[in-house]
Structure formats: C-alpha cells, structure tokens
Amino acid sequence: MAEAAWGASGLAWLTGAPDGRPDFSRAAVLQRAGQLVDRLDLGVDAASLLAGRAALRGFTRAGRVSPGGASRLLPAVDGWWALTLSRPDDLDAVPALIETDCPGEPWAAIAAWAADQPVADVVGRARLLDLPAAGLGETAAAPPLIRRVGPAGPSRGPGGALVVDLTSLWAGPLCGQLLARAGATVVKVESPSRPDGTRAGDRAFFDWMNTGKLSCAIDFDHDAVFLAQLLAAADVVLEGSRPAALARRGLGPLDVTGRPGRVWLQITGHGGFPGFGDDAAVAGGLVGFDVAGDPVFCGDAIADPLTGIEAAVAVFEALARGGGELITFSLATVAAGYAALPLQPPGEHPASPPGRPRIEGRGPRLGADNARVGELVQAASRC
C-alpha cells in the first residue's frame, strides 16, 4: 500500500536515475507525512504538499542532479556530499571554493576538485564561503529544540491567532499556509529590497504558498520599531533566517517581550550553516538509490515540505500547551528523522507524474496590507 501511494503521488517519478526506473525505497516517508497532515484536519493531502512544486514547474527525476537543478550529489574520496548553487553569490564563490579560475561549466570543475578530497574537507571549505553544502548522512535525527521563553497563556488552537511570517521560499511559508487554513490571520513580512524569491518569474508556487495571507513590506533596519511592535502583538512568529539575523537588530525572541502564550518558531537549514531542501535532505541521509545502490536525490527539495508540515504540527501542539515557547527546527534533522524510517525493498510498481496542486487564489501584492497590519498592531496594543 505504501508503495502504491508513493507511486501515485509523483514522488517515485521524482526519485531515481533519469534513465532508470523510479525508486520506491522511501515510500514510508509519504506514509508518515500523511499521518501528520491528517492530524491537522485541514482538507489537504501530504502527496500534494510534497510533490506540488515539481508539478507546477514540470520537474522530473534527474538522479544526482536535483529536480530543480540547483543542487548536485558529488563523490569525494571517502563518500558523497551535496552542494547547492542557487544564488548569484554562490556561483561567484566557485573560484574561491576550488582555488582556481573556473572558465567553463562550474559543476565539472567542482567535481574534479572534490574527487580526491575527504568529504569533511570539501564541506568545511564550502561552509567557510557560506555555501550550502553537506556530507551524506552527517546529521542525526533529533526532535525540535523547545525552550520556555515567556509566560504561558490559555490552551488554544490557531483559529483567530495573529501569525507573523518572516520566512521565505518553502518550509516556513508552508507552515504559515497551513496555519492560515486553520483560521489564523497570517501576516507575511518582507523587506522591499529582499522580497521572497518565489515572487520572481512564474508566480504559481508563490500563490500556492501565500494565498490568504496579508502582506506587510518593512525595511528591517529603518522600520525596526514597528516590526518590534508587530512581533510583540503576535501570537505566533515564524522565523526562517539564521537565528542571529533578528537578534543582532534587537528583534529576537529574547529581545521582544511577547504576549502570554506567544509561540516563536525558528527554521534553519543546518543549524548555524545555510542550507536548502535538497542539500539538507542529503545531510539527513534522506536520499533514494539507483540500481547500483548509489545515492540519488529523493523527491524535490523534500526536507522543505516535510519541515513545513512538522512545524505546523509543532505550532498546533505548542498553542494547545499554552505556548510561551521558542521552537527550533533544522531541515537536516527533520530529514534525518524520515531517513530513519524502514526502507521498502526493490520492486516493480507503477509511477505517475505529480499532480498539479489546487491554487485557491493569488498571493498578496508586496506591501498591499500595510495599513491593515498597522490597525492590527494598534488593536493588539489596546488589549
């Protein structure tokens, strides 16, 4: 049954060598994610959440190239590692990474440079340059870190909660989308100079993740007073930057006194290092396999939607406990938890392309709701 669901979901279609058969070894991942999504009772299904971006963008499996094309699984002398080059600055750093000019295609040069070096050395050098990199299976499974940082409030659900969503891309916005579906008022906060990157190009994915949210455009440095007021008014804060990014502006969970019961949720890639869904999945060991037993990418940046689902469940549970908590996830540790699930034996099963998810509306225009968000802050300050 798990294999049939994996094949029908599109995840098998996205996992395996491009010229080989789909891989079903990770079918238990969808089964586990489905159990969590069912607990939320929001009328969504896990298969769509995990494979929907690939359907929107027409991705298919590409083996040791991620479906989105920005990440690679590469051999080193003692194992496998992953590197993501998704930002212009990442590509600009390649000559410094390999310590030579890179006149041609960068991936071939990186592969040649890494082939006779230990995984720890290549990953360590990449991280010195702020590149998202990870060794295969370097991260162990662990529950999210939960710390008490404020007074508890009454037990409640997300309905009517004010959620400040400071995240971008996938994991955090998905958590915010699920909270919006549960009846929360979700305010997506972005800097006008650095908006969510999924606004660019084809907006279908942005719309899918952000429909139903309010948009507030804030300069994090010049509008810090208003942002602090918004964070103080929030029932839930979703933070997707490195933990120090807000703290150095005096806007972290220990700096801004919150309402009783406020839940502050942080999502990182690899703890203190940058990371994206594909390299984080590799760090956790969540990979598929080709016919030779060598690793290939599993799904499409699968650590992102898995973390978004886990984060939403964690917020639901924290609110029910009365909140007053700081909860910290990393994509890599979430992936490691799913990698520990039993592998399915090889077999021949049908595999379908992922189905396009239902998009229920347009995501908000940048800054469209600034005035309304100001009213929400004023109302909260009077309470």
356 has pLDDT over 90: yes
The two structure tokens encoding residue 377: 């802050």
How confident is residue 159, by pLDDT bands cut at 50, 70 and 90? Answer: very high
The two structure tokens encoding residue 163: 């959620």
345 has pLDDT over 90: no
59 has pLDDT over 70: yes
243 has pLDDT over 90: no
**DSSP character string of 145-211:** EEEE-S-------STT-EEEE---SSHHHHHHHHHHHTT-EEEEEEBTTB--GGGSS--HHHHHHHT
pLDDT at 117: 97
The two structure tokens encoding residue 87: 């930002």
2 vs 144, which has greater pLDDT?
144
pLDDT at 246: 85
pLDDT at 32: 98
pLDDT at 343: 96
185 has pLDDT over 90: yes
Average pLDDT over residues 193-218: 95
pLDDT at 12: 97
pLDDT at 103: 67
When the pLDDT of each residue in the chain is averaged and rounded to a whole number, the result is 95
CA distances from 89 to 95, 97, 244, 268 (A): 11, 12, 20, 19
347 has pLDDT over 80: no
pLDDT at 242: 65
How confident is residue 221, by pLDDT bands cut at 50, 70 and 90? Answer: confident
Give 261-307 pLDDT, tens digit per residue. 999 999 999 988 899 999 999 999 999 999 999 999 999 999 999 99
Whether the model clears a pTM of 0.95, i.e. scores above it, the answer is yes
244 has pLDDT over 80: no
pLDDT at 100: 87
pLDDT at 235: 98
Helix ranges restricted to H, the chain: 2-9, 27-40, 46-57, 88-92, 94-98, 106-114, 119-128, 171-181, 204-210, 224-233, 243-247, 277-283, 303-321, 331-339, 370-382
Give 91-142 pLDDT, tens digit per residue. 999 999 999 887 678 999 999 999 999 999 999 999 999 999 999 999 999 9
Assign 3-class secondary structure to 217-260.
ECCCCCCHHHHHHHHHHCCEEEECCCHHHHHCCCCCCCCCCCCC
Average pLDDT over residues 75-94: 95
